[in-house]
């Protein structure tokens, strides 16, 4: 059975390590914060200038001066810090953020990502996405394996304008987990885990890119 | 002695605003925007403005107000999603926009303030936003050259100022304000409190007074775009 | 949970120091130097070190101690006047030095921390320090391209830390420490006080904990190079 | 009679304006601080990270953490701020400092300056001098008109390695005041003021560069 969104983000949370500094994208990635294992300290960075983002505030704690990159009111945990945008992106561009978890519209078989514009539709801008995929040590994508119309999102090469080239390290979908591998100069995603009941054929049908299969294929535990 | 404190937003902008100038306007969404200076800018009636600001406000607040009055000709921004009037003017071609990745946006503004005409970044390499720009390889990776951003006038929002222009920001209302204060030929700061010189700990100053020319105290509205809360158990 | 607090300078450097590595060492003159970490570095016996530091200490304090023991092969500095042993090794060719203008020095270190491999500045154009470097014209002026600086290990000095690595500096002891904290693959901070997380106002943090890997509390000596005073009337 | 060092710096102080942000070099320029006119607020920047430098401390105020760029213990005035070196030189390189007053070993007739190294002698480094001459809005040099051996320091072109090219706006020596002027694409220093009793011939004898003479030559008041 394919994973739920909650299970996808639960699986993504297994990638976290104690003391990690992490940036979570808007939408599904935000949910990863709900699954940080107990006893583990993970520092959430919000690129508008906060390291140590906490839960949403209680009604009487709401502060217009304290928001996240999605413009939602949030809180700050003990040990948090505020800083300006130049410092925030020095953290991101300078490789200090251990992991970013983002959504995607398309991913190419070499790890390019497109997630900021659809030609012909109103372009709203790119925000911090290009900086995150270019700068963060490890970029993980959580997404549905196919579009709402059932078309593959993992494809030979992106048809949408890119957000970044060869920058995605891992993909987690409702069907499987894939890791970017390099072998003899070629880079492809290798499927390492399958959702319970999902078959190799299910993944191949939903994917329009060359992918590799791990000899040690496991079931996703999430 | 030079007096940096002005009695009203109108007075603080007096003599600075002309048609066709370039402004930087602080804020992330509606957080940390110089709200009353934006109103005074609207009331100035100046046209054909270029606005360098992370976002474009909403229809009836922030820079959205200057879109309603069609005073802005061009925006340099990272994300402009929350504004119907923006979309209409953009799609009709009335409004020009330059999209910049947010980290590049922050760094270009800092560069403008720091006397650095260009720098290199990996951000946007291989994407449409790097097309037509100079590229350079360093240590086996390709980088794109990005240019500084400067403004005729920067409008910033801080929490507290002293009378000689030192600024302290509050929480995430800091955002792009400190770099913009550096990159304006003239910088006007809207603040919630003004204290005498010496009342801000010199170790806690966020923006030294050298970057600030005029200060005005206002009462902030502070609209919230996404009020998200946790229910009390 | 990760513990960033180490019991001694020796422990704080454990596993980090090898022959031939590049270190950044904070401080301006003897002000704001990680004095006990420098002693621990000396005691490590590591050789052929490259030290990126504004100055070279004095003969018997600061980095001067590592010159006495000939552990430094190369220095990247802006000014090194106060050190006889330095002069001797430099003139005899034992010690290599790269002089950098101080603003370019600060910016190259910041660039290293911020992921910017190169930037342009007017500083040093037309002087020997720009020779052999790429030049570029922008808006009618000539600029020289300067490269980032990074270190295997950065040793910084702060006044106060919390247990998760946030740092606050004191007065002009801040100097190059914040940028060096950003530009080290591993950064070790020597501080005068360690408080629990949450005890530093998040608006007043100078260096966010993300840039700091290890912390050690020491009792500072704080030697003064030029004690200049005003007589009481 | 040629000016004393005190008079040179007193004349330099007349270039200050209320509210100016100023960087004073080591040596003679430091003395300018003693001559700031009463009622005028001038902010002294020290490039090691202090804006609002005050007098030397009383004995019981001495603080090892509070020094100037000459490594002397100092104080901070009310309204001062401390910052890091990158911010300090953003002020300098970014053109935010109104005036720098510096010493010089040689100045060329086009306004080049050399003040950091003498070939064959131990080079101590350049500190912030190259940044100051390249970045500050107006660069004023206070110096003796000639070397200790009586050789001109204002010369056709510098023989010493440069600190900066075409960056000096004004020179104040014991003999005269000179301003850089541009006329039909040529840049030369124009003598605008003479020290009391000093003649045009005195200046010309002590100078080995083409200089211009103001039609409105005045006596230095200092």
Chain A residues touching C197 at Cβ < 8 A: 78-79
Indicate whether C68 belongs to any domain: yes
- For residue C34, being part of any structural domain is answered with yes
Helix axes C102-114, A85-93, angle to 10 degrees: 60
Q: What is the pTM of this model?
A: 0.98
Q: A81 CB near a chain C CB, below 8 Å?
A: yes
By DSSP bridging, strand D43-46 and strand D50-53 are antiparallel
pLDDT of residue C90: 86
Q: What is the pLDDT of residue B90?
A: 85
Say which of A47, A109, A174, A193 is annotated catalytic: A47
Please tell me which residue, B83 or A146, carries the higher pLDDT value.
A146
**Cβ partners under 8 Å of residue B14, min gap 6:** B6
Q: Is residue C222 part of a domain?
A: no
The Cα B123–Cα B103 span in angstroms is 8
Helices B102-114, D85-93: crossing angle, 10 deg rounding: 60
Give C174's contacts (C-beta < 8 A, 6+ positions apart): B203, C32, C206, D49, D82, D83, D84
Beta carbons within 10 angstroms of residue C124's beta carbon: 28
Reply yes or no on whether the pLDDT at D198 is more than 80: yes
- How far is C209 from A41, CA to CA, in rounded Å? 13
Is some CB atom of chain A closer than 8 A to the CB atom of B120? no
pLDDT digits (tens, 9 = 90+) for A94-146: 999 999 999 999 999 999 999 999 988 888 999 999 999 999 999 999 999 99
Q: Is B230 inside any structural domain?
A: no
> Residue D222's pLDDT is what?
80
- Name the percent of chain A lying above pLDDT 70: 100
pLDDT of residue D123: 86
pLDDT tens for D88-147 read 999 999 999 999 999 999 999 999 999 999 988 888 999 999 999 999 999 999 999 999
Which B-chain residues 157-176 have CB contacts (< 8 A) with chain A?
A: 159, 169-176
- Domain for residue B226, yes or no? no
User: What are φ and ψ of residue A123, in 5° steps?
Assistant: -90, 125
A21/A103 Cα distance (integer angstroms) = 18
Domain count, chain B: 1
The model's pLDDT over B155-209, given as tens digits with 9 standing for 90+, comes to: 999 999 999 999 999 999 999 999 999 999 999 999 999 999 999 999 999 999 9
Distance CA C129, CA D129 (A): 12
Determine contact: D196 vs chain B, CB below 8 A.
no
Question: What is the structure's pLDDT at A123?
Answer: 86
Domain enclosing residue C79, as ranges: 5-117+148-217
Mean pLDDT of A60-72: 97
Q: Do B107 and C114 touch (CB under 8 A)?
A: yes
* Chain D neighbors of C101, CB-CB under 8 A: 126-131
Residue B78 · residue B51 · CB < 8 Å: no
The model's pLDDT over C22-57, given as tens digits with 9 standing for 90+, comes to 999 999 999 999 999 999 999 999 999 999 999 999
Q: Is the pLDDT of residue B1 over 80?
A: no
Helix (H) or strand (E) segment spanning residue D4: none
In the stretch 89-128 of chain D, residues with CB closer than 8 A to chain C read: 89, 92-93, 112, 122-128
pLDDT of D80 > 80? The answer is: yes
- Tell me how crowded residue A67 is: count the other CB atoms within 10 A of its CB: 31
Is C140 part of a structural domain of the chain? no
pLDDT tens digits along B117-168: 999 999 999 999 999 999 999 999 999 999 999 999 999 999 999 999 999 9
The whole-number average pLDDT for the span A77-96 is 98
Give the gap in angstroms from C-alpha B57 to the nearest C-alpha of chain A.
12
**For residues C14 and A31, what is the distance between their CA atoms, to the nearest angstrom?**
38
Q: What is the mean pLDDT of chain C?
A: 96
D19: tokens are 């509210």
- C113: region left, alpha or beta (phi > 0 left; psi from -120 to 50 alpha): alpha
Over residues D160-184, the mean pLDDT reads 97
Between D1 and A87, name the one with better pLDDT.
A87
Which of C89, C86, C44, C58 minimizes the C-alpha distance to C221? C58
Instruction: For chains A and B, count residue pairs whose Cβ atoms are closer than 8 Å.
Output: 176
Whether C81 shows a pLDDT value over 80: the answer reads no
Q: What is the pLDDT of residue A93?
A: 98
Q: For residue C82, is pLDDT > 80? A: no
Weakest mean pLDDT among D78-82, D165-169, D218-222: D218-222
Q: Is A47 a catalytic residue?
A: yes
Residue C231 lies in a domain: no
Q: Which of A47, A130, A167 to mutate to test the interface with B (most CBs of B within 10 A)?
A: A130
From residue A6, alpha-carbon distances to A40, A145, C39 in Å are: 19, 15, 52
| Mean pLDDT, all residues of chain A | 96
Beta bridge partner(s), residue A178: A171, A191
Query: Mean pLDDT across chain B, nearest whole number?
Result: 96
Question: Mean pLDDT, chain D, as a whole number?
Answer: 96
C132, HSE (Cβ side, Cα atoms, 13 Å): 3
On whether residue B97 sits in a domain, the answer given is yes
Q: B196 burial class (0-12, 13-18, 19+ CB within 10 angstroms)?
A: exposed
Chain C nearest-CA distance from B114, in A, is 9
Phi, psi of B183 (to 5 degrees): -100, 0
What CATH number did the domain enclosing B196 receive?
3.40.1080.10
Q: 3-class DSSP state for residue A6?
A: helix
Please give the average per-residue pLDDT across A164-183, as a whole number.
97
The pLDDT of residue D214 is: 97
Q: How far is C175 from chain B (nearest CA, A)?
A: 12
B102 alpha carbon, distance to own chain's centre = 12
Query: Is B174–A59 a contact, with Cβ atoms under 8 angstroms apart?
Result: no
**Length of chain D (residues):** 222
* Among D46, D84, D93, D104, the residue to mutate for chain C (most C Cβ within 10 A): D84
Quick one: average pLDDT of C186-211? 98
Distance in Å, alpha carbon of C125 to nearest chain D alpha carbon: 7
Q: Is the model more confident about B233 or about A183? A: A183
Q: What are phi and psi of B102, to 5 degrees?
A: -60, -40
């Amino acid at each position: 059975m394919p994973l739920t969104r909650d299970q996808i983000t639960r699986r993504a949370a297994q990638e976290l390590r104690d003391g990690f500094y992490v940036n979570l994208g808007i939408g599904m990635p935000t949910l990863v914060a709900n699954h940080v294992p107990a006893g583990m300290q993970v520092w959430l960075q919000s690129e508008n200038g906060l390291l140590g983002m906490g839960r949403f505030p209680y009604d009487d704690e709401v502060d217009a001066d304290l928001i996240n990159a999605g413009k939602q009111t949030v809180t700050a945990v003990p040990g948090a810090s505020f800083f300006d945008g130049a410092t925030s992106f020095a953290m991101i561009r300078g490789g200090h953020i251990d992991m970013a978890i983002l959504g995607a519209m398309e991913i190419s078989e070499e790890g390019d990502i497109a997630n900021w514009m659809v030609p012909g539709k109103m372009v709203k801008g790119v925000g911090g996405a290009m900086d995150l995929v270019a700068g963060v040590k490890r970029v993980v994508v959580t997404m549905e394996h196919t579009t709402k119309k059932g078309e593959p999102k993992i494809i030979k090469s992106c048809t949408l304008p890119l957000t970044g080239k060869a920058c995605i390290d891992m993909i987690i979908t409702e069907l499987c987990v894939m890791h970017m591998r390099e072998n003899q100069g070629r880079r492809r995603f290798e499927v390492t885990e399958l959702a319970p009941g999902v078959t190799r054929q299910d993944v191949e049908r939903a994917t329009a890119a060359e992918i590799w299969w791990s000899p040690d294929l496991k079931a996703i535990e999430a | 002695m030079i007096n940096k404190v002005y009695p009203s937003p109108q007075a603080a902008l007096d003599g600075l605003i002309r048609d066709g100038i370039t402004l930087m306007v602080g804020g992330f969404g509606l957080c940390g925007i110089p709200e009353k200076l934006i109103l005074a800018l609207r009331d100035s009636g100046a046209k054909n403005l270029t606005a360098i600001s992370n976002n474009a406000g909403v229809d009836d607040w922030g820079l959205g107000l200057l879109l309603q009055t069609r005073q802005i000709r061009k925006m340099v921004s990272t994300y402009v999603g929350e504004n119907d009037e923006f979309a209409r003017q953009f799609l009709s071609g009335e409004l020009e926009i330059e999209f910049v990745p947010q980290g590049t946006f922050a760094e270009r503004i800092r560069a403008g303030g720091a006397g650095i005409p260009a720098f290199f970044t990996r951000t946007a390499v291989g994407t449409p936003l790097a097309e037509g720009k100079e590229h350079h390889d360093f240590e086996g990776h390709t980088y794109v050259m990005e240019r500084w951003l400067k403004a005729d006038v920067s409008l910033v929002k801080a929490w507290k100022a002293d009378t000689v222009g030192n600024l302290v920001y509050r929480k995430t209302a800091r955002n792009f304000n400190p770099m913009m204060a550096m990159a304006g030929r003239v910088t006007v700061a809207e603040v919630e409190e003004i204290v005498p010189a010496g009342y801000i700990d010199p170790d806690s100053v966020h923006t030294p007074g050298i970057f600030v020319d005029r200060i005005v105290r206002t009462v902030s509205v502070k609209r919230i775009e996404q009020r998200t809360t946790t229910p009390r158990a």
